[in-house]
Amino acid sequence: MNKNLLHIRNLSIGYGSKIVAGDLSAIVPSGELICLLGSNGTGKSTLMRSICGFQPVLGGLIVIDNREVHQLNEKELSKQIAVVLTDRVVVPNANVQELVGYGRSPYTGMLGRLNAADKIIVARAMEQCGIAHKKDSLLTSLSDGERQKAFIAKALAQDTPLIILDEPTAFLDLPARVEIMQLLRDIANTSGKSILMSTHDLDLALQLSDRFWLLQNGGPLITGSPEDLLLKNAFQKMFQHKGIVFDNKTGLFKVMHAQHSQVAVKGHGFEYVLLRRALSRKGIKVIRANSDDCNRVEVNKDAQKPFSLYIGDQCIQSEDSVEVFVNRVLAAKSLLEVQSESCVLSE
Ligand SMILES: Nc1ncnc2c1ncn2[C@@H]1O[C@H](COP(=O)(O)OP(=O)(O)OP(=O)(O)O)[C@@H](O)[C@H]1O
């Protein structure tokens, strides 16, 4: 069992007399990647800023390495926690190597000169983050993903037991989001550092994080491994809104489609699933065809045109495109439909 690097107990966070969230208790074990999730405005950034010592807490405790965070001075804190913020921080005229070098500032003298050991740490951090080939590039010339890697390398060079990142995947496309999450996963695995990051990428967090902190509106935090929270239906409860359902088995959200009519369909396989999906998006529920259904759709995956429409037991149309076939079904809907109102989940 990893030792606990940080814990928060009965924490209240907010601004002045306004409590954003209270009754927050959680742990950060060493060497874990922890994802903080919650709806917009629940206070994720406020919580992270509070843990970093950037703003006062309204009650409770934050303890890192057996010391209360708000009793540490700036230099002591910078040796415990490295922070990567959401905002596109502008560091004018700095190249990647200089930025990562700033990560060494808690250890360098007044002039910020890097010694040989610092330079090795900076080079290693750039290497680990896959940004060494851009070491001489200005930050302003980098893509969002490359810039994020440079800031993570700076945090790594700071050599703290805890790295905190506020939405590090916010501006990135899917491959870059996966790459950054995998990089953070790799850092936690190989360096033993703990990483606490906020994110809205539930699907990636479910696959890559060791632990969730789920921030409820007003508090408390629900914490645990992804699998234990799935067992407890924690995500369903948290994200359940009208028309959206979280599927525990797949870890995906599904959208409710209102169904106004139905059609009998015979068939199976991938083609059947795709047709059912397209029909349900158009408000048509698919029911299994019985042997006495003269008006029906048949899906034959081995046929050149897999989708066929039968009216009065006569095949009146065959198509190989789902889109074209669904339009045919819609045109013939009055012949096929049995009126019924219901809802199904998207596939
Ligand atoms: N400087 C501030 N002064 C007063 N209230 C603030 C301040 N900053 C944020 N808030 C309020 O605190 C609440 C939580 O904001 P916060 O940015 O922490 O939420 P969040 O969970 O990070 O949101 P998001 O997912 O949208 O980034 C919001 O109601 C916000 O309006």
Strands 67-68 and 59-64 come out as: antiparallel
Ligand 1 centroid to residue 42 C-alpha, Å: 7
**Ligand 1: which residue has its CA nearest to atom 18?**
43
80 and 225 belong to one structural domain: yes
CATH number at 166 reads: 3.40.50.300
Burial 101-120, CB ≥16 within 10 A → b, else e: bbbbbbbeeeeeebeeebee
Give the E-state strand segments of the chain in sequence order.
4-15, 18-29, 33-37, 59-64, 67-68, 81-84, 162-166, 194-198, 211-215, 221-224, 244-247, 252-259, 261-266, 284-288, 296-299, 307-311, 314-319, 342-345
Q: Of the residues 177, 207, 240, which one is the last residue of a structural domain?
A: 240
> What average pLDDT score do residues 323-345 get?
73
Looking at residue 335, its pLDDT comes to: 63
pLDDT, tens digit, 9 for 90 and up, residues 240-265: 666 677 887 777 777 777 778 889 99
Element counts in the chain: helices (H) and strands (E): 12, 18
Q: Vertex 307, ends 301 and 313: CA angle to 5°? A: 115
123 and 39 belong to one structural domain: yes
**Ligand 1: which residue has its CA nearest to atom 1?**
15
Ligand 1 centroid to residue 46 C-alpha, Å: 6
The residue to which tokens 């959200």 are assigned: 253
Looking at residue 347, its pLDDT comes to: 61
Cβ-Cβ contacts under 8 Å for 161 (sequence gap 6 or more): 5, 30, 64, 65, 80, 193, 194
pLDDT, tens digit, 9 for 90 and up, residues 86-130: 665 667 789 999 999 999 999 987 677 899 999 999 999 999 999
Looking at residue 25, its pLDDT comes to: 98
Give the C-alpha separation, 244 to 232, whole Å: 18
Query: Cβ atoms within 10 A of the Cβ of 209, count?
Result: 25
Ligand 1 centroid to residue 41 C-alpha, Å: 5
Ligand 1 centroid to residue 61 C-alpha, Å: 20
Strand, coil or helix: what is 245? strand
280 and 328 belong to one structural domain: yes
Looking at residue 89, its pLDDT comes to: 63
156 and 225 belong to one structural domain: yes
Q: Is the pLDDT of residue 338 over 70?
A: no
75 and 183 belong to one structural domain: yes
Looking at residue 242, its pLDDT comes to: 63
Ligand 1 centroid to residue 141 C-alpha, Å: 31
233 and 316 belong to one structural domain: no
Query: In this predicted structure, which of 19-23, 65-69, 293-297, 343-347 has the lowest mean pLDDT?
Result: 343-347
For ligand 1, pick from 18, 39, 42 the residue to mutate: most ligand atoms within 8 Å of CB.
42
Global pTM exceeds 0.95? no
Per the structure, how many domains does the chain have? 2
**Ligand 1: which residue has its CA nearest to atom 9?**
46
Query: Cβ atoms within 10 A of the Cβ of 136, count?
Result: 9
Q: Which atom of ligand 1 is nearest to the CA of 39?
A: 25
More confident residue, 237 or 125: 125
Cβ-Cβ contacts under 8 Å for 292 (sequence gap 6 or more): none
Strand, coil or helix: what is 45? helix
Is 194 within 8 Å of 162 (Cβ atoms)?
yes
Query: In this predicted structure, which of 184-193, 245-254, 273-282 has the lowest mean pLDDT?
Result: 245-254
Q: The domain containing residue 93 runs over which residues?
A: 4-240
Q: Is the pLDDT of residue 305 over 80?
A: yes
Backbone angles phi, psi at 135, to 5 degrees: -60, -30
Nearest to 197 by CA among 299, 16, 44, 55: 44
Backbone angles phi, psi at 255, to 5 degrees: -100, 140
The residue to which tokens 């995947």 are assigned: 169
Q: Which atom of ligand 1 is nearest to the CA of 86?
A: 27
Q: Which residues line ligand 1 (CB under 6 A)?
A: 15, 20, 38, 40-46
74 and 202 belong to one structural domain: yes
More confident residue, 68 or 246: 68
**Percent of the chain residues past pLDDT 90, beyond the cut:** 68
Cβ-Cβ contacts under 8 Å for 333 (sequence gap 6 or more): 261, 263, 284
Q: Which atom of ligand 1 is nearest to the CA of 14?
A: 12
State CA 184 to chain mean position distance: 13
Ligand 1 centroid to residue 187 C-alpha, Å: 29
For ligand 1, pick from 46, 50, 214 the residue to mutate: most ligand atoms within 8 Å of CB.
46
For ligand 1, pick from 12, 17, 44, 221 the residue to mutate: most ligand atoms within 8 Å of CB.
44
Strands 252-259 and 314-319 come out as: unpaired
226 and 183 belong to one structural domain: yes
- Return the bridge partners of 62, or none: 8
Ligand 1 centroid to residue 14 C-alpha, Å: 8
Ligand 1 centroid to residue 204 C-alpha, Å: 24
In a domain, 18, yes or no: yes
76 and 184 belong to one structural domain: yes
Average pLDDT, the chain: 89
More confident residue, 200 or 236: 200
Looking at residue 276, its pLDDT comes to: 92
Q: Of the residues 240, 274, 292, which one is the last residue of a structural domain?
A: 240
pLDDT, tens digit, 9 for 90 and up, residues 35-54: 999 989 999 999 999 999 99
Cβ-Cβ contacts under 8 Å for 151 (sequence gap 6 or more): 84, 89, 99
Looking at residue 90, its pLDDT comes to: 66
Q: Is the pLDDT of residue 223 over 80?
A: yes
